Structure 1
Amino acid sequence: MSFQAILFDCDGVLVDSEGITNRIIWQYMNEHGWYVSEAECYDIFLGKTVRSETALIEANLGRSIDDTWMQEFYRRRNIALLEELTAIEDSHLAVQAAYGACQGNIACASAADLHKVCMQLDKVQLKPFFKAVLSGHNCPRNKPYPDVYWAAAQALNADIAQCLIIEDSVTGIQAGVAAGATVWAYLPENSHFNAETLQLNGAKKIFSSMKNLEQLIHEHFSF
Structure 2
Amino acid sequence: MNLGDKKAVIFDMDGVIIDTEKIWKQAEKEIFSSFGVKVTEEHSKVTQSMTTSQVTQFWHEKFPWRHKSLKEVEQMVVSRVTELIASEECLIKGVKAFIEKLKSKNYKIGLATNSPYVLIPTVLDRFEIAHFFDTVSSAEFEEKGKPDPAIYYTTARKLHVDPKDCLVIEDSYSGILAAKQAGMTVAAFSNGNKQIEFEMADYRIDSFE
TM-score, reference length from structure 1: 0.84
Quick one: percent identity of the two aligned structures? 24
Give the residue type in structure 1 aligned to 2:195: N
The answer for the alignment partner of 1:205 in structure 2 is 203
Runs of 4+ with deviation above 4 angstroms: none
Query: How many residues are paired up?
Result: 204
1:85 is displaced (CA, Å) by 4.1
User: Which 10-residue stretch deviates more, 144-153 or 65-74?
Assistant: 65-74
Q: CA contact under 8 A between 2:52 and 2:116: conserved in structure 1? A: no
The answer for the alignment partner of 1:86 in structure 2 is 90
Mapped to 1, the partners of 2:59 and 2:108 lie a distance apart of 38
Q: Trace 1:12-31 onto structure 2 (pairs within 5 A).
A: 12-31=15-34
The answer for the alignment partner of 1:154 in structure 2 is 157
Mapped to 1, the partners of 2:138 and 2:56 lie a distance apart of 18
Mapped to 2, the partners of 1:90 and 1:45 lie a distance apart of 28
Report the RMSD for the aligned CA atoms in angstroms.
1.8
1:111 is displaced (CA, Å) by 0.9
The answer for the alignment partner of 1:73 in structure 2 is 77
1:41 is displaced (CA, Å) by 5.2
The answer for the alignment partner of 1:214 in structure 2 is none
TM-score, reference length from structure 2: 0.90
Mapped to 1, the partners of 2:71 and 2:57 lie a distance apart of 14
> Which of 26, 31, 45 does residue 47 from structure 2 map onto?
45
1:140 is displaced (CA, Å) by 2.7
Q: CA contact under 8 A between 2:18 and 2:90: conserved in structure 1? A: yes
Give the residue type in structure 1 aligned to 2:35: H
1:178 aligns with 2:170: no
Give the residue type in structure 1 aligned to 2:207: S
User: Which 10-residue stretch deviates more, 159-168 or 75-84?
Assistant: 75-84
Task: Give 5+ residue unaligned stretches, structure 2.
Answer: none
Mapped to 2, the partners of 1:140 and 1:62 lie a distance apart of 24
Mapped to 2, the partners of 1:52 and 1:106 lie a distance apart of 28
Q: Tell me, what secondary structure is at the counterpart of 1:114?
A: coil
1:156 is displaced (CA, Å) by 1.0
- Per-residue CA shift, 1:12-58, capped at 9, x if unaligned? 10112221111111222222222123x33541232322212344212
| Larger helix percent | 1
Mapped to 1, the partners of 2:44 and 2:146 lie a distance apart of 17
Mapped to 2, the partners of 1:111 and 1:121 lie a distance apart of 15
Mapped to 1, the partners of 2:112 and 2:79 lie a distance apart of 22
Q: Tell me, what secondary structure is at the counterpart of 1:36?
A: coil
The answer for the alignment partner of 2:128 in structure 1 is 125
Mapped to 1, the partners of 2:49 and 2:129 lie a distance apart of 21
Task: Give 5+ residue unaligned stretches, structure 1.
Answer: 212-223
Q: CA contact under 8 A between 2:53 and 2:71: conserved in structure 1? A: no
Q: CA contact under 8 A between 1:118 and 1:133: conserved in structure 2? A: no
Give the residue type in structure 2 aligned to 1:6: V
